[in-house]
Every structure is written in structure tokens, then in C-alpha cells.
Amino acid sequence: MKKMPLISVVLPVYNCQNYIEEAVHSILNQTISDFELIIIDDASTDETLTIINNLKDPRIKIVTKDQNLGLIHSLNLAFELSKGKFIARMDGDDISVPNRFEKQLDILENNSDVIVCGSWMQHFGKSEITVKHKENHNEIVAQMLLHCSLNMGTTMFYREILIANKFDESKKHVEDYDFWSRVAWIGKFYNIQEVLYYYRVHEMQVSSIYKQIQVQGDLPIKLYLFKKIGYNTTKYKDAFIVKMILLNQSIDLKELELFLNWIKKLSYLNRKTNVFSQKELEKVLKKIKRKLLFSLYFNHTNIGITKKWRIKALFKLPLQDALYILKIKSRIIRKGMLKGL
């Protein structure tokens, strides 16, 4: 009987001839060798498939599609074909460090409650920032109210636990964020606090081309997560919450008060529902509030926000928030005076 691989590495590719060989070698050279590498070619029109076919390794399994059906289709197909106890993700233009799998297996096999293990991520190419995702489950899940706090390419997870949760075809370009938002309550997430994955930044990648689509696609996912707390969706309508998050329309003082009440209500309700860690939720809500106030008072491109409006609003803010605004204003004035000296 043929032995099943410990890990199924899922690598969807489309027209990445300049990077695919380096990406594949970073997997083949892992310190853990017990894996299958499932490469799904989404009908590439360049030399990607030729390069892959020339990489001779028995662990490589190549699946070619006759027509381009997109990343989500490739991911779901690879999930169905995978045989390993664990699934590890990888993208065709990125690089995994040699001991990535070894470190992630150590976390998963020695922590029975952890079902997903990611890591920090280092950008390279057109950007060189380090993305330091939060470490523990409570932090990661609360941060999902702000943004996707796990990068799919960095992760390894239990196949049998998550295999039933396919990627949603309607969530194009935000499929990973949607996926994590649905499985976050099945088990614990964990991010290793070191760079195990190098993310290549270039002009042709999906995250660069479809940035605005991703911003819009994120909003229903955030609303879905906030609604888990159980607030009154008739009083605090989706369109209103989105308007206040985006701040791309004129808002009145009543709307500002209502939004601040919504934030306060989320904190109160979560103490009863325990959907999110209260400690971590408070951090997120503070960040949302401070981002809103900073934008209203110091971003002078906001529609309909005049000096008179800001003065009126200041007197309606809780004392702590009003002091936050005045503190920043004072700091800006001092800097301006210093520059004039």
C-alpha cells in the first residue's frame, strides 16, 4: 500500500515564468521532505508549464487546466486532490525559507488546539516591509475586524478539519479573508513570530492590480464578523457602517454620535457573547475610533467636514476622545512653530 504524504503543498500558478522555478525549488529544498507538491496550472499562456515540466522530482504532481478558471477554482481543485494530513500553501512568485515546514509542523503537532499555523512575511522586490502578523488566536481573530490577519501563502493547516470549507467563488480577490473568517471558530490560529515566507511584490500580481476591488470586497467580511457580536442591525444598518468606515461621503453630527454609540454597544454586547476576546476587541475598537477621529480632524479632503463642523463635534465627543484630538493638534502646532524658528 502506497504511503500517504504527510503534507500536501498547494501551488496554483498562472503566467509566472520569471519566478516559478525559484518558488518550486524553495519547496523541494525544505528540511522536511515528506510531502507532495500539487501544482495547478490555470492554462498559462507563457512558459510556466514548460519550466515546471522540466523540474524532475517524484513529489511534484502537475495538474493542467484547459481553460483559465481562476485562482479559487485552482485552490478548491487542489484541496480535493490533496492526500496529506496537512496542507501548506505557496504561491508561484514567492519563496519559503528552508525550515518553514519543519517549524510549522512542530507547532501543529505539539499544540492539539492549533489547526492553522502561519508566520511573519517579508516583502521583496518593489517593497521591503516585514508583515508581522499577531501571534496568538485571540489577537489574530480580533484583528480580522480590521483586515485579513493571516496570509494564506504562509500557512499550514489540518486538511481533514478544513477540507469541507471550500473557497467561495463569489469572493474573488478576497477569498482568503473570507475563508479565515468562516473557519476561525473551528480551532485556534497561530503565527510563528519570524519570517518564514518571502512575498514578491511586483506590478502584475493580483494584490496590486485589484487593490480597490479588494477594499470593497473586504467590507461584507468585516460586517459578517461584527454581526457575530449581535448588535441591532436595524438601528445600525450595513450602509451606515460602511459609510463611516470608508468616510468617502459627507456625514452629519448625528451620524458621528450614532457610530460612536455603535462602537460602545459592540464593547458592551461582547462582554455577554464572548465572541471575541474582550481585551483584544477593545484594542480594535479603539483603533477604529481613533482612525475615524484622526481622519475627521486632520484629513482636510473629507467631504462636508468644515472647521465649524469640527468645533461642534468636539463638544459632543467623550472627554477622552476630545483630549486625543487636542493633544494631536497641540503637537502639530508645536512642530509648526519649531519649523518657523
Which domains does the chain possess? 7-211 (3.90.550.10), 229-340 (no CATH)
Average of pLDDT values for 178-188? 95
What separation in angstroms does the CA of 100 have from each of 29, 106, 113, 160?
10, 10, 20, 21
Tell the burial category of 283 from Cβ atoms under 10 Å away from its Cβ (0-12, 13-18, 19+). middle
- Strand 130-131 to 114-125 pairing: antiparallel
pLDDT tens, position by position, 202-243: 766 555 556 778 889 999 999 999 999 999 999 999 999 999
Question: What is the distance, to the nearest Å, from the Cα of residue 267 to the centroid of all Cα atoms in its chain?
Answer: 23
Rounded distance between C-alpha atoms, residue 181 and residue 225, angstroms = 7
Cβ-proximal residues to 101 (8 Å cutoff; 6+ apart), any chain? 7, 30, 31, 32, 35, 88, 156
Single pTM value for the model: 0.91
Report the pLDDT value the prediction gives residue 207, as an integer from 0 to 100: 55
* Torsion, Cα of 148, 152, 155, 156 (10° steps): 120
Report the pLDDT value the prediction gives residue 79, as an integer from 0 to 100: 93
Rounded distance between C-alpha atoms, residue 151 and residue 241, angstroms = 26
Spatial contact of 233 and 227, defined as CB atoms under 8 Å apart: yes
Report the pLDDT value the prediction gives residue 340, as an integer from 0 to 100: 38
Per the structure block, which three cell numbers stand in for 126?
518593489
pLDDT of residue 1 exceeding 90, the answer is: no
Arithmetic mean of pLDDT over the chain:
93
More confident residue, 127 or 61: 61
Backbone angles phi, psi at 220, to 5 degrees: -60, -30
pLDDT of residue 309 exceeding 60, the answer is: yes
- Residue 338: pLDDT band by 50, 70, 90 thresholds? very low
Per the structure block, which three cell numbers stand in for 125?
522586490
Q: How many residues in the chain?
A: 341
Report the pLDDT value the prediction gives residue 341, as an integer from 0 to 100: 31
- Strand 86-89 to 156-158 pairing: antiparallel
Report the pLDDT value the prediction gives residue 165, as an integer from 0 to 100: 87
Report the pLDDT value the prediction gives residue 128, as an integer from 0 to 100: 86
pLDDT tens, position by position, 2-55: 789 999 999 999 999 999 999 999 999 999 999 999 999 999 999 999 999 999
Report the pLDDT value the prediction gives residue 194, as an integer from 0 to 100: 98
Average of pLDDT values for 275-298? 95
SS3 127: coil
Rounded distance between C-alpha atoms, residue 147 and residue 21, angstroms = 31
DSSP state string for 249-294: S---HHHHHHHHHHHHHHHHHHHHH-SS-HHHHHHHHHHHHHHHHH
Query: Computed from CA positions of residues 209, 214, 215, 216, in that sequence, does the dihedral angle turn out positive or negative?
Result: positive
